[in-house]
Amino acid sequence: MTAGYWEREGLERAILGALAAAGRDVDALTVDALAPADHFHGGGKAATDRLARLAGIRPGMHVLDVGGGLGGPARTLATYGAHVTVVDVTESFVRTGAALTARLGLADRVEHRVGDALALDVPAASFDLVWTQNSGMSILDKERLYLGFARALRPGGVLAIQEPMAGPVQPVIFPVMWARDASSSFLRTPPAMRAVMEAAGFRVRVWDDVTAETAGPGTADEIPPYFASRIIMGDALDAIVRAGHRNREEGRIVLIQAVLDRP
């Protein structure tokens, strides 16, 4: 990833301001009310809930959310009774995520840490579920990434991913949400990704193409000011949404949700 690509100052203020302007009571926020502003991936909270159900989320589970961003997915998993450790390389996202978690009274269930997905500083075999949602696109070394996920999971643990992958038509049209150009975007096809995961020891249980059901609008005009993508990307969002629409419609990028077992 280009260093600092996602870093933003004043994010908590921007999020609360945008929600307040939309009529939300920011002093009595709920996970659902915050969701448009803190889920930063295709399909929003509905996609997170879908993947959580597929993964068999249960109370008491210990979850590692790699590239967890502002923590929207982590706080959603906490509502199912899970304990979540979020690791993300973007310091301002980690700071903002921790502040939002405290605001929602979930600090006993969700922890936010700065860290690199390729060098996870967690004990081996310590998590029931490794979760990663729209975070691996700018990581080149997928082999190392998935070996790290396998290491973090206890035997019998589960990996749940939501990941944009290369579609049958190439090349990708830029800019995309995670990269201005091809130098920092590393997508592989679904069969190639599956092979990486299987080589890391995972067994595929569910593999769903959710491109159609998570598709956003064709133009950024339809994205309200309190959505995470608008708050984080600002005016750059317009070109990203236009390119995203073409990437989806022309089969250049697909979105996969998958659940895998670590035997």
Ligand X SMILES: C[S@@+](CC[C@H](N)C(=O)[O-])C[C@H]1O[C@@H](n2cnc3c(N)ncnc32)[C@H](O)[C@@H]1O
72 binds ligand X (CB under 6 A): yes
**20-24-28-32 Cα dihedral, nearest 10 degrees:** -120
Closer to ligand X by CB, 85 or 134: give it. Answer: 134
149 binds ligand X (CB under 6 A): no
Residue 45 CB-half CA count within 13 A: 19
The residue number whose beta carbon is nearest to ligand X equals 69
SS3 188: coil
18 binds ligand X (CB under 6 A): no
Find the part of the chain contacting ligand X (CB under 6 A) among 83-91, 122-130, 152-160, 213-221: 83-91
Between residue 118 and residue 147, which ones bind ligand X under the rule CB under 6 A?
Answer: 118, 133-135, 138-139
Residue 144 sits at φ, ψ, to 5 deg, of -65, -40
Size of the site for ligand X (CB under 6 A): 24
Q: How far is the CB of 216 from ligand X (least distance, A)?
A: 13
**Residues 87-106: x where in contact with ligand X by CB under 6 A, - otherwise, as a string:** -xxx--x-------------
257 binds ligand X (CB under 6 A): no
Residue 95 sits at φ, ψ, to 5 deg, of -60, -50
Q: How far is the CB of 7 from ligand X (least distance, A)?
A: 9
| Token code pair at residue 87 | 């690791």
SS3 157: strand
Q: How far is the CB of 162 from ligand X (least distance, A)?
A: 7
Torsion region of 44: left, alpha or beta (phi above 0 gives left; psi -120 to 50 gives alpha): left
Q: How far is the CB of 263 from ligand X (least distance, A)?
A: 26
Q: 31-38 and 44-54 are packed helices; what angle lies between their axes, rounded to 10 degrees?
A: 110
Q: Which residues are 153's β-sheet partners?
A: 127
SS3 64: strand
116 binds ligand X (CB under 6 A): yes
**Residue 66 in contact with residue 120, Cβ under 8 Å?**
yes
Q: How far is the CB of 190 from ligand X (least distance, A)?
A: 19
Question: Residue numbers of the site for ligand X (CB under 6 A)?
Answer: 1, 6, 39-41, 67-69, 72-73, 88-90, 93, 116-118, 133-135, 138-139, 177-178
